[in-house]
Amino acid sequence: MGNLKAILNHPDELYPLLKLKIASKQAEKKIPSQPHWNFCYSMLQKVSRSFAFVIQQLDTDLRNAVAIFYLVLRALDTVEDDTSIPNEVKVPILEAFHRHIYDPDWHFSCGTKEYKILMDQLHHVVTAFLELGRGYQVAIEEITKRMGAGMAKFILKEVETVDEYDEYCHYVAGLVGLGLSKLFYASKKEDLAPDSLSNSMGLFLQKTNIIRDYLEDINEIPKSRMFWPREIWSKYVNKLEDLKYEENSVEAVQCLNDMVTNALMHVEDCLKYMSALREPSIFRFCAIPQIMAIGTLALCYNNIEVFRGVVKMRRGLTAKVMDRTNTMSDVYGAFFDFSCLLKSKVEKNDPNATKTLNRIEAIQKSCRESGVLNKRRSYVVSDQPSYNSALVIAVFVLLAIMIAFLTSK
């Protein structure tokens, strides 16, 4: 019923949803037939469906390199996340992981569900990695080594300060941005971006995930490590877990807004990075997740539901972002629209209101100075139905039949 209600309220998202469904089915048909590549792309769908979709839009060589890069780092992350592994065992594995990706016989079982499958059959990923061009291998090895060392460092310490928060996010995400820039360069399709811009691309995504996933992470059993910096949350509560309790709702929202404001500091760098990209498929690969991030932050800001359940963009809006993100004018338009939504939620009595508004104004200034805002279509639409409900239901049923037909092929 929730999906039907969303369609009724946003009928303009019907067509993008259908296009996304068709594109996803077509992407599945491109999966290579060799067992190791088949495993890699099938696993990619299981560990991150959204990233799998944008990765599969890339040209073949770069697509394979990015897919393997993602799976290698996902495997590394699985080791870091498994709280059942003693630190004296975990740290050496993290520090040596960049060497294990050259050894099809290396094996270490950990993680749960699909992540356990990934680790148990990591030899497929290694086999695929060994088939990549040397330039791709060097980039993946370098980033894996640096990330493993950074993860090992933070296994042994908590995130206390904002500087440490940035450092941790650099190791687990900023390095991903740097690695992707190196892969784009190795493909000869892009120039090598400045490290600071590549880092910001990763930090913006990572901080959005950390903010959005508060409740899931704090409630995880066994207890997950949390990465909200004490320097921020201690201004509002005595313990980080206190944010989820109803009696602390005011403080929780203020802390949340502080975290969102911190994440917004990376937006201008992200816009600079994306504006320099030349190859359309690489641009879409980079731009879609960034728009999803600013959209997610706009939804999370001043929203107590972050501490009560799941806050995320509805599927139809996600489909619209994927469908409409083709040029830099689309990106500027999306960032402007979502920043307007965020601005409308800022309350004067919030302790960080001035800082938040200043950061929003800086984002909007960058978008306005691009000179292309009048060329974009809005991502933020009214919550009121704009079409006759009976007609929308009929169209929805027809689309459901079409999707079922396509799925059965």
Q: What is the mean pLDDT of each run of 10 residues along the chain (409 residues)?
A: 56 65 66 88 85 84 96 96 92 97 96 95 97 97 98 91 97 97 96 96 97 91 81 97 96 98 98 97 96 97 95 86 91 95 96 98 96 72 47 55 51
Report the chain's terminal Cα–Cα distance, integer Å. Answer: 26
The residue type found at 48 is S
**Nearest residue to 186 via CA among 125, 127, 141, 124:** 141
Q: Work out whether the CA dihedral 289, 295, 297, 300 comes out positive or negative.
A: negative
User: What pLDDT shows up at residue 399?
Assistant: 57
**Rounded distance between C-alpha atoms, residue 382 and residue 384, angstroms:** 5
Active-site residue (options: 115, 129, 136, 168): 168
Alpha-carbon dihedral 170, 172, 174, 180, rounded to 10 degrees: 160
To the query of whether residue 49 is one of the catalytic residues in this protein, the response is no
Write down the CATH superfamily of domain 211-377.
Farnesyl Diphosphate Synthase (1.10.600.10)
Active-site residue (options: 49, 225, 278, 377): 225
The residue type found at 403 is I
pTM of the model: 0.88
User: What pLDDT shows up at residue 15?
Assistant: 62
To the query of whether residue 168 is one of the catalytic residues in this protein, the response is yes
Give the CA count within 13 Å in the CB-facing half-sphere of 384.
1
In the chain, % helix, strand, coil (3-state, to 5) comes to 75, 0, 25
The class that CATH gives domain 27-157 is: mainly alpha
Alpha-carbon dihedral 323, 327, 329, 335, rounded to 10 degrees: 60
**Rounded distance between C-alpha atoms, residue 228 and residue 255, angstroms:** 10
Question: Do the beta carbons of residue 222 and residue 84 sit within 8 Å?
Answer: yes
3-state secondary structure of 93: helix
**Nearest residue to 39 via CA among 4, 75, 87:** 75
Main-chain phi, psi angles of 74, to 5 degrees: -65, -40
Contacting residues for 170 by C-beta, under 8 A, at least 6 apart: 150, 199, 202, 203
To the query of whether residue 285 is one of the catalytic residues in this protein, the response is yes
User: What pLDDT shows up at residue 5?
Assistant: 59
User: What pLDDT shows up at residue 393?
Assistant: 56
Rg (CA), the chain: 21
The tokens describing 99, both together, are 């060497």
**Rounded distance between C-alpha atoms, residue 123 and residue 78, angstroms:** 15
Alpha-carbon dihedral 29, 35, 41, 44, rounded to 10 degrees: 150
User: What pLDDT shows up at residue 389?
Assistant: 54
User: What pLDDT shows up at residue 317?
Assistant: 84
**Rounded distance between C-alpha atoms, residue 16 and residue 12, angstroms:** 8
Contacting residues for 221 by C-beta, under 8 A, at least 6 apart: none
Active-site residue (options: 212, 284, 359, 376): 212
> Using CB atoms within 10 A of its CB, is residue 376 exposed (0-12), middle (13-18) or buried (19+)?
buried
User: What pLDDT shows up at residue 381?
Assistant: 47
Residues of the chain with CATH 1.10.600.10: 27-157, 211-377
